[in-house]
Structure 1
Amino acid sequence: MLARGIFQKRSCCRSGNVFFFCRRLPTSTAEPTEMKPPAVAHFSSAAPTPVKSMFDSSYKLYNHKVHYFSTSAAALEPVDNIIDIPLAQTGEGIAECELLKWFVKEGDEVEEYQPLCEVQSDKATIEITSRYQGKVVQFLHVPGDIVKVGQTLLSISVDDSQVPSDVGEPSPTSHPIESSNESSELRETQEGETLTTPAVRNLAKQHGIDLNDVPGTGKHGRVQKEDVLNYVASVINKPALVNPTSVKPTLEPEQVFRPMADESLYQDKTLPIRGYQRAMVKSMTAAATIPHFHYIEEINCDELGKLKDGFQKQNSDPNIKFTFLPLLIKSLSMALTKHPLLNSTFNLEKYEVNLKGSHNIGIAMATQVGLVVPNIKNVQSLSILEITKELARLQKLAKENKLNPEDIRGGTITLSNIGAIGGKSGSPLINVPEAAIIALGRTQKVACFGDDGKVYPVSLMTANIAADHRILDGATVAQFCNEWKKLIEKPELILLHTR
Structure 2
Amino acid sequence: MVREFKLPDVGEGVAEGELVSWLVEEGDTVSEDQPVAEVETDKALVEVPAPVNGTVRELRAEAGEMVPVGTVIITFDVEGEPVEDASEDEETESEAERSSEPPGVDEPGDGDGDEAGETTADADRDTEHAGDPGATGGETDEPATPAGRVFAPPRVRRLAREEGLSLDEIRGSGPGGRITEADVYAAAEEGSGESAVAASTDAVDAGEETGEPAQPVDSSEPRGEPATDLQTRTERQPLESAPEAADRDRTLAAPATRRLAREEGVDLDAVPVTEERDGEAFVTPEAVREYAEAQRRAQEADAAAVSAGAGGRAETEAESGQREERIPYRGVRKAIGDQMERSKYSAPHVTHFDDVDVTELVETRTRLKERAEAQGIRLTYMPFVMKAVVAALKEYPLLNSQLDEEAEEIVQKNYYNVGVAVATEAGLMVPVVENVDRKGLLQIASEMNELIQKAKDRSIALEEMQGGTFTITNVGGIGGTYATPIINHPEVGILALGSIEEKPRVVDGSEAPRASDDASGETTSKEIVPRHVLPLSLSFDHRVLDGAIAARFTNTLAEYLRDPELLLLE
The Cα of 1:102 is off from its aligned counterpart by 2.1
Q: Gapped runs of 5+ residues in structure 2?
A: 84-88, 112-117, 124-173, 175-179, 183-249, 303-318, 509-524
- Residue aligning to 2:548: 475
- Residue aligning to 2:271: 215
Alignment of 1:83-98 (within 5 A): 83-98=3-18
Q: Which has the higher helix share?
A: 2
The Cα of 1:221 is off from its aligned counterpart by 12
Within the candidate set 170, 174, 179, 2:97 is matched to 174
SS at 2:258 equivalent: helix
The Cα of 1:282 is off from its aligned counterpart by 1.5
- Residue aligning to 1:307: 364
SS at 2:346 equivalent: coil
SS at 1:455 equivalent: strand
Contact 1:97–1:120 (CA<8 Å) still a contact in 2?
yes
SS at 2:121 equivalent: helix
- Residue aligning to 2:464: 407
- Change in 2 beyond 3 A, CA 1:240/1:87: closer
Alignment of 1:170-209 (within 5 A): 171-175=94-98, 180-181=106-107, 185=119, 187-189=121-123, 190=174, 191=180, 195=251, 196-204=253-261, 209=264
- Change in 2 beyond 3 A, CA 1:96/1:239: closer
Alignment of 1:413-492 (within 5 A): 413-451=470-508, 452-492=525-565
TM-score (norm 1): 0.72
The separation in 2 between residues aligned to 1:425 and 1:369, in whole angstroms, is 24
Q: Gapped runs of 5+ residues in structure 1?
A: 1-80, 247-262
The separation in 1 between residues aligned to 2:280 and 2:256, in whole angstroms, is 13
Contact 2:16–2:68 (CA<8 Å) still a contact in 1?
yes
Q: What residue identity is the alignment partner of 2:7?
A: L
- Change in 2 beyond 3 A, CA 1:245/1:329: farther
TM-score (norm 2): 0.63
Q: Indicate yes or no: 2:171 matched with 1:115.
A: no
Q: Indicate yes or no: 2:329 matched with 1:273.
A: yes
Q: What residue identity is the alignment partner of 1:181?
A: E
Q: What residue identity is the alignment partner of 2:264?
A: I
The separation in 2 between residues aligned to 1:349 and 1:223, in whole angstroms, is 61
Q: Which has the higher strand share?
A: 1
Alignment of 1:52-451 (within 5 A): 81-158=1-78, 171-175=94-98, 180-181=106-107, 185=119, 187-189=121-123, 190=174, 191=180, 195=251, 196-204=253-261, 209-212=264-267, 215-217=271-273, 224-226=282-284, 228-232=285-289, 241=297, 243=299, 266-287=322-343, 288-317=345-374, 319-451=376-508
Alignment RMSD (CA, Å):
3.2
Contact 2:372–2:442 (CA<8 Å) still a contact in 1?
no
Contact 1:444–1:460 (CA<8 Å) still a contact in 2?
yes
Contact 1:375–1:407 (CA<8 Å) still a contact in 2?
yes
The separation in 1 between residues aligned to 2:504 and 2:371, in whole angstroms, is 31
SS at 1:388 equivalent: helix
SS at 1:315 equivalent: helix
Question: Which one is further off, 331-340 or 314-323?
Answer: 314-323
- Change in 2 beyond 3 A, CA 1:390/1:223: farther
SS at 1:89 equivalent: coil
- Residue aligning to 1:75: none
The separation in 1 between residues aligned to 2:328 and 2:460, in whole angstroms, is 21
Measured against aligned partners, the alpha-carbon deviations of 1:265-285 in whole angstroms (never above 9, x if no partner) come to 952222112232122111111
The separation in 2 between residues aligned to 1:230 and 1:178, in whole angstroms, is 21
The separation in 2 between residues aligned to 1:245 and 1:328, in whole angstroms, is 61
The separation in 1 between residues aligned to 2:534 and 2:460, in whole angstroms, is 29
Contact 2:54–2:79 (CA<8 Å) still a contact in 1?
yes
The separation in 1 between residues aligned to 2:369 and 2:300, in whole angstroms, is 55
SS at 1:97 equivalent: strand
The separation in 2 between residues aligned to 1:438 and 1:303, in whole angstroms, is 21
Q: What is the percentage of aligned positions where both structures have the same residue?
A: 29
The separation in 2 between residues aligned to 1:474 and 1:219, in whole angstroms, is 72
Q: What residue identity is the alignment partner of 2:97?
A: S
The Cα of 1:453 is off from its aligned counterpart by 2.8
Q: How many residues align?
A: 395
The separation in 1 between residues aligned to 2:407 and 2:296, in whole angstroms, is 66
Question: Which one is further off, 465-474 or 213-222?
Answer: 213-222
Contact 1:364–1:372 (CA<8 Å) still a contact in 2?
yes
Contact 1:438–1:463 (CA<8 Å) still a contact in 2?
yes
Contact 1:359–1:380 (CA<8 Å) still a contact in 2?
yes
The Cα of 1:83 is off from its aligned counterpart by 2.7
The Cα of 1:461 is off from its aligned counterpart by 1.3
The Cα of 1:316 is off from its aligned counterpart by 4.3
Contact 2:260–2:288 (CA<8 Å) still a contact in 1?
no
Contact 1:132–1:162 (CA<8 Å) still a contact in 2?
no
Contact 2:104–2:119 (CA<8 Å) still a contact in 1?
no
- Change in 2 beyond 3 A, CA 1:107/1:314: same
Measured against aligned partners, the alpha-carbon deviations of 1:460-479 in whole angstroms (never above 9, x if no partner) come to 11111111111111121122
